């Protein structure tokens, strides 16, 4: 398959998501379509409750849409079993969360190794790659530190290294600077810029204007639909 006909890393068609809440149905997404091509840096911006995090969860296959479908590299997620979907998240997608969610009992290196261990990467190989990735995010000196011994910015950088562990085709980040101060947020922003320059496809949910401004494309959402 030539690059011209290769399926995009992410393709969403007419996504809808409804939640029951207090006896009523909340329409979190109301027909959202989005295409993300290889090497894109897409920011999804919008106020709280606009449906941007819900969209990211559907794109990442960690929630099931009420309607529409998502394709990752041409594979429709709704055709996959729970096991296959989990495997796809492990090997094709990388996730970064607002609250980092590192395992506090593990070291930075072990946290980065975790997805590789799950994927069956041999111990020596994953250890070396974890060191390389931590060096990439500027934390070579923190490999053996427990997550609890790291600052917020360092924890987010470890989370970014973890998200890159299995060579994902897309990185999905949900408010990655939401818990960080301005200076530290700026460091993460620079890191994302570098990642994209190195060829990583990024989809970032944010209400941080500076972070959105860094993206090649900004998708504005309001009330569950894309405004522009």
Query: 19: which strand partners?
Result: 26
Closest-CA residue to 67 (of 205, 218, 224): 224
34 CB-contact burial (10 Å; exposed 0-12 / middle 13-18 / buried 19+) = buried
Say whether residue 87 binds another protein (CB under 8 A): yes
Q: How far is the CB of 88 from another protein (least distance, A)?
A: 8
Q: How far is the CB of 228 from another protein (least distance, A)?
A: 25
Q: Which of 15, 45, 77, 93 binds another protein (CB under 8 A)?
A: 93
Binding residues for another protein restricted to 116-135, rule: CB under 8 A: 117-119
Say whether residue 223 binds another protein (CB under 8 A): no
Binding residues for another protein restricted to 142-181, rule: CB under 8 A: 162-163, 166, 174-175
Say whether residue 80 binds another protein (CB under 8 A): no
Question: Is 1 in a helix, a strand, or coil?
Answer: coil
CB under 8 A: which stretch of 1-9, 70-78, 99-107, 128-136 binds another protein?
99-107
- What angle is formed at CA 185 by the lines to CA 145 and CA 223, rounded to 5 degrees? 120
Say whether residue 73 binds another protein (CB under 8 A): no
**Total residues at the site for another protein (CB under 8 A)?**
37
Binding site for another protein (CB under 8 A): 53-54, 57, 60, 62-63, 82-83, 86-91, 93-95, 97-99, 101, 103-106, 110, 113-115, 117-119, 162-163, 166, 174-175
């Amino acid at each position: 398959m030539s690059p011209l006909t290769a399926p995009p890393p992410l393709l969403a068609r007419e996504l809808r998501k409804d939640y029951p809440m207090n006896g009523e149905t909340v329409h979190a997404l109301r027909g959202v379509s989005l295409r993300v091509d290889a090497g894109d840096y897409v920011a999804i911006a919008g106020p709280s409750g606009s449906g941007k995090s819900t969209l990211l969860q559907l794109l990442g296959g960690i929630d099931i849409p009420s309607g529409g479908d998502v394709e990752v590299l041409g594979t429709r997620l709704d055709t996959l079993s729970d096991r296959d979907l989990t495997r796809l998240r492990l090997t094709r997608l990388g996730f970064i969360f607002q609250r980092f969610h590192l395992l506090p009992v593990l070291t930075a290196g072990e946290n980065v190794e975790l997805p590789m261990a799950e994927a069956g990467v041999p111990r020596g190989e994953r250890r070396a790659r974890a060191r390389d990735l931590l060096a990439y995010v500027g934390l070579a000196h923190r490999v053996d530190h427990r997550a609890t011994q790291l600052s917020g910015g360092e924890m987010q950088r470890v989370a970014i290294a973890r998200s890159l562990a299995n060579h994902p085709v897309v990185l999905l980040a949900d408010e990655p600077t939401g818990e960080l101060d301005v200076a530290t947020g700026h460091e993460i922003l620079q890191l994302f810029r570098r990642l994209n320059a190195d060829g990583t496809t990024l989809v970032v949910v944010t209400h941080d204007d500076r972070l959105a401004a860094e993206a090649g494309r900004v998708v504005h959402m309001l009330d569950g639909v894309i405004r522009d």
